[in-house]
Structure 1
Amino acid sequence: MCPEFYIDDLPFNTRRLVEECSSYIEETMGLEVTFLINCLLGLVVIVSEKHKDKIGSKKLSIFSSCLPDKFIGTRYKYSQIDTIEKKDYCHISASYFISKLRNGISHQNIDGNKNVVNGNWESVTIKDFYFEDDEQHGIRKGDKNFQITIDIDQLKKLAIEISKLVPEKTRSN
Structure 2
Amino acid sequence: MPKLDGLGAAEELRRVLPQTAVMMLTTFSEDEYIASALGSGAAGFVLKSGDPRELIAGVQAVAGGGAYLSPSVARRVISHLGTGQLGKRATARARIEGLTVREREVLALVGEGLSNAEIARRLHVVEGTVKAYVSQILARLDFRNRVQAAILAYEAGLVPQT
| TM-score of the aligned structures, taking structure 2 as reference length | 0.35
Q: Which is bigger in relative contact order (C-alpha 8 A, separation at least 6)?
A: 1
The structure with the greater share of residues assigned to strand is 1
| TM-score of the aligned structures, taking structure 1 as reference length | 0.33
